[in-house]
Chains A and B, each alone.
Chain A
Amino acid sequence: MSLWEYANPVKFLRLSERVMPWLWGLAVLCLSLGLVWGFFGTPDDFRQGSTVKIIYIHVPAALMAINGWFMMLIASLIWLIRRHHVSALAAKAAAPVGVTMTLIALITGAVWGQPMWGTWWAWDPRLTSFLILFLFYLGYMALWSAIEDPDTAADLTSVLCLVGSVFAVLSRYAVNFWNQGLHQGASLSLDKEKNVADVFYHPLLLSIAGFVLLFFALVLYRTGTEIRVRRTRALRARQGARQGSLQEGSA
């Protein structure tokens, strides 16, 4: 059995309905565990005090903001190459979730930055890059909503997503070049030493897992909605065609 079978909307819906309760459950479990542990079960940082705890929302949201766009890029590529409708709709469904994550990351970053840097907003490379990512999300969503024909919209937004990805990376480098910034280094990385102490690390991982699960639950849910909208449209069109031909027949 091939994975592509789930490119069929009906099969996809059936599968996602079976998976969704688990996803939601696990997401809620991980998130509540991670956040409660993080907020109440870890000590205050000796320099940053209790403000450090916003990390449990800020870092996962920022991760999902980027990975959301990355998921849209992959889904767009699948649509352009294999023309599976579910893929295009999943990209469409992910955009509002991704933009919300970006917004959460920006807002929590500002809330965190105020006591730390003494300012709500600084034109720091990372913050600026997220602001630019936010604009890319907005443009992508605006293009989807501006085009009536769903296939045309899927084609155009996919190309925009591709081109946008290249320019987003370019912007990231440009912004780094433009201002050296005061943001701390990445909290997590695979190849470098951990920048975060163990006590913060485990609840952080848990809340990241929670955000990932939440992201997928939301995207699956929204994709299901988009599929049903398309299905309604298709049924309407069929009904319209039937009525039209009946009238012509009787005339």
Chain B
Amino acid sequence: MRALLVRDLRLALRAGGGFGLGLAFFLIVVVLVPFSVGPQPELLGRIAAGVLWLAALLACLLSLDRILALDFEDGTLDVLATAPLPLEAVLSVKALAHWLTTGVPLVVAAPVLAVLLNLPAAGYAGLVLSLALGTPALSVIGTFGAALTVGIKRGGLLLSLLVLPLYVPTLIFGAEAARRSAQGLDATTPMLMLAGISAGVLALMPFASAAVLRVNLR
């Protein structure tokens, strides 16, 4: 399992691995927001938490099809399916690798971009914590979507259509937690719900992902 993680991280970091693309996308979306809603600091400050969450979610979505498509095309998944590692573990590791290469940079970059959007000072800790708790769920759910569409040519758009509705609860609780803490309110409940969703999908989703991947490999 460690070998798979190390390989995925190494591949992501080498040329053409796409590391940083999600981060750049995140930056661009955040920069575009003031152009579309206007530069008033109060307005930006009020929507900052939600915008950052939405942008992070879209940046996550962007790189989902890389989780499995390349390994499917070059036959790696066939061999992994016959390896001693259960497919559930393979997919969990792949989701972890996706989170480390996409989710973690987003969490780290979010406070910096929050400055651009004039997020109230009280909101920084809540924003980082909610993203740190929520992005694992995004990666794991996204891995399910990737496993579902891996056999479909040009499945990228379909992948978004399937995964976005599944992202709704995570987005609601995540953005709510970030928003509440930005307003200086108590964000414990949404934060706990968010953690619950992450824990739940981490535990259960790999089984669904492995089931659909097996169907797609046969």
- A–B touch (CB < 8 A): the answer is yes
A residues neighboring B (CB under 8 Å): 132, 135-136, 138-139, 142-143, 146-147, 152, 155-156, 159-160, 162-164, 167, 170-171, 173-175, 177-178
B166 touches A164 (CB 8 A): yes
Main DSSP-derived SS at the A contact region: helix
- Docked Cα-Cα span, A174 to B134, in Å, equals 14
What residues on A are CB-neighbors of B176 within 8 Å?
177-178
> How far is the CB of B148 from the nearest CB of chain A, in Å?
6
**Cβ contact of A143, chosen from B158, B208, B218, cutoff 8 A:** B158
What residues on B are CB-neighbors of A138 within 8 Å?
161
A152 touches B151 (CB 8 A): yes
> How far is the CB of B118 from the nearest CB of chain A, in Å?
24
B164 touches A162 (CB 8 A): no
21 A-B pairs (CB sep. < 8 Å):
A132-B168, A135-B165, A139-B161, A142-B161, A142-B162, A143-B149, A143-B158, A146-B152, A147-B151, A155-B212, A156-B212, A159-B212, A162-B208, A163-B166, A164-B166, A167-B166, A171-B165, A171-B168, A174-B193, A177-B189, A178-B172
What residues on B are CB-neighbors of A135 within 8 Å?
164-165
Task: Contacts A147-B151, A178-B172 given; indicate if A139 touches B165 (C-beta within 8 A).
Answer: yes
A177 touches B172 (CB 8 A): yes
What residues on B are CB-neighbors of A163 within 8 Å?
144, 166, 205, 208
Main DSSP-derived SS at the B contact region: helix
Number of A-B contacts (CB under 8 A): 73
A167 touches B169 (CB 8 A): yes
- Docked Cα-Cα span, A178 to B193, in Å, equals 12
> Does B215 sit within 8 A of A, measured CB to CB?
yes
Task: Contacts A160-B148, A163-B208, A164-B165 given; indicate if A146 touches B173 (C-beta within 8 A).
Answer: no
A155 touches B173 (CB 8 A): no
What residues on B are CB-neighbors of A164 within 8 Å?
165-166
- Docked Cα-Cα span, A35 to B211, in Å, equals 46
Task: Contacts A156-B216, A171-B169, A174-B169 given; indicate if A139 touches B162 (C-beta within 8 A).
Answer: yes
A136 touches B193 (CB 8 A): no
> How far is the CB of A28 from the nearest CB of chain B, in Å?
35
Task: Contacts A146-B158, A163-B144, A177-B190 given; indicate if A136 touches B172 (C-beta within 8 A).
Answer: no
What residues on B are CB-neighbors of A173 within 8 Å?
169
Task: Contacts A143-B148, A174-B172 given; indicate if A159 touches B162 (C-beta within 8 A).
Answer: no
Q: Give a binary string over B176-218; 1 marks a CB under 8 Å from any A CB, 0 the rest.
A: 1000000000000110010001000000010010011001101
- Docked Cα-Cα span, A77 to B144, in Å, equals 19
> Does B155 sit within 8 A of A, measured CB to CB?
yes
> How far is the CB of B212 from the nearest CB of chain A, in Å?
5
> How far is the CB of A139 from the nearest CB of chain B, in Å?
5
B166 touches A156 (CB 8 A): no
Q: Which 10 A-B pairs have the closest CB atoms?
A: A174-B172, A174-B169, A170-B169, A135-B165, A155-B215, A139-B162, A171-B168, A167-B166, A178-B172, A139-B161
Most buried by B among A135, A142, A170: A170
What residues on A are CB-neighbors of B151 within 8 Å?
147, 152
- Docked Cα-Cα span, A167 to B172, in Å, equals 12
What residues on A are CB-neighbors of B152 within 8 Å?
146-147
Q: A143-B149, A155-B212, A160-B212 are in contact. List 8 more A-B contacts (CB 8 A).
A: A138-B161, A139-B162, A146-B149, A156-B212, A159-B212, A159-B215, A164-B165, A175-B168
- Docked Cα-Cα span, A164 to B166, in Å, equals 7
Closest residue of B by beta carbon distance from A154: B215
Task: Contacts A152-B151, A163-B166 given; indicate if A142 touches B172 (C-beta within 8 A).
Answer: no
> How far is the CB of B146 from the nearest CB of chain A, in Å?
13
> How far is the CB of B165 from the nearest CB of chain A, in Å?
4
What residues on A are CB-neighbors of B197 within 8 Å?
170
B168 touches A174 (CB 8 A): yes
- Docked Cα-Cα span, A17 to B173, in Å, equals 49
